[in-house]
A and B are shown apart, each in its own frame.
Chain A
Amino acid sequence: MGHPAFSVSHREQVAPMSFVFYVLAAVTLAGALAAVLLKNTVHCALALTVAFAGLALLYLELDAQFAGFAQILVYIGAVAILIVFAILLTKGSETPKDGVYSKNWLAGLAIAAGVFAVLGWAVLESARVLPGSGGTPTAAPAVTVLQIGNALMGRYVLPLEIVALLLTAALIGAVIVAMHEKEETR
């Protein structure tokens, strides 16, 4: 089967704006759009997972293997499931009578568009000064999980601990928030 030369971590450098990128970007954005536009909430959640998957692949495209897999594991494996659970628990799957969009959705849309305009403008404005603008594609940084692990345990150990603390707090907090009602009714 596949010979060792092939592996995701050292993929040959892609030309600027490779075809893959366009496909992935399209998938991601389509998923995101569907996630915010669809009527049925569960469909939204599923579309969201598509967007997440697209993002994960974009990360891989960016040689961020670890981040990509973490993205899949956390978002598709946990967050998406959480969301659908929440939808089912809040009977959110049936669409409300008075429309799915809030009263002044137009303003929201306008503002979102404005944000995009500004951000895009900013990006294009700064395109000249951004790194990699020389046209020469920078070489893919060969970063192994080992390095990431060392970094996590070394330079970033404090954030790691804090995140651990935060997650614990969130776990407990979520449990308490969800439990509370039950306690009362008992």
Chain B
Amino acid sequence: MTPLTGYLLVAALLFSIGLGGALTRRNAILVLIGIELMLNAANLNLIAFWRYGPHPEALTGMMFAIFSIAVAAAEAAVGLGLVIQIHRHAHTTDLDQMNRMRG
């Protein structure tokens, strides 16, 4: 198994774990955690491809990863803000109960 394959497999597993978390947990924050994990899995892929790709000097994958880290920060901020707001509003973070727009 070449290094790249290994990293890709790890990333895939990480992604699936994140997805599983996002799919199975009730708590919205936990779902966000799952999403963060998925994002990170994607970043790992990017970096691995950058490292073992034909043109590491082009920095593309690295840049992509850095940008996506920055974007993920924004995503987390807004997402958590929303969760807090919803909690204030509906007094729950349980996604199974957050299924109506009225409130």
User: Chain A interface secondary structure, helix, strand, loop or mixed?
Assistant: helix
Interface of B is mostly: helix
By the criterion of a CB under 8 Å from any partner CB, how many residues of chain B are at the interface?
75
Given the interface pairs A21-B3, A36-B34, the reply to whether A90 lies near B84 with Cβ below 8 Å is yes
Q: Which of A89, A130, A166, A178 meets B74, CB within 8 Å? A: A166
Would you give the shortest CB distance from B42 to chain A, in whole angstroms?
11
Is A141 a contact of B56 with CB atoms below 8 Å?
Answer: yes
Q: B13 → chain A, closest Cβ, in Å?
A: 6
Interface residues of A in 42-82 (CB under 8 A from B): 44-45, 48, 51-52, 55, 58-59, 62-64, 66-67, 70-71, 74-75, 78-79, 82
Contact among B3, B27, B36 for A41, CB-based, below 8 A? B27
Return the contact of A123 from the options B5, B37, B74 (Cβ within 8 A).
B5
Measured between alpha carbons, how far is A172 from B87 in the docked complex, in Å?
20
Known: A44-B30, A119-B12, A170-B74. A178 touches B65 (CB 8 A): no
Given contacts A112-B23, A132-B3, contact A123 B8 (CB under 8 A): yes
14 residue pairs from A and B, CB less than 8 Å apart:
A17-B3, A29-B14, A41-B29, A51-B40, A74-B72, A79-B76, A90-B93, A101-B26, A107-B23, A109-B23, A120-B9, A127-B2, A147-B59, A181-B89
Q: Which 7 A-B pairs have the closest CB atoms?
A: A108-B23, A36-B21, A112-B20, A170-B74, A116-B16, A141-B56, A119-B12
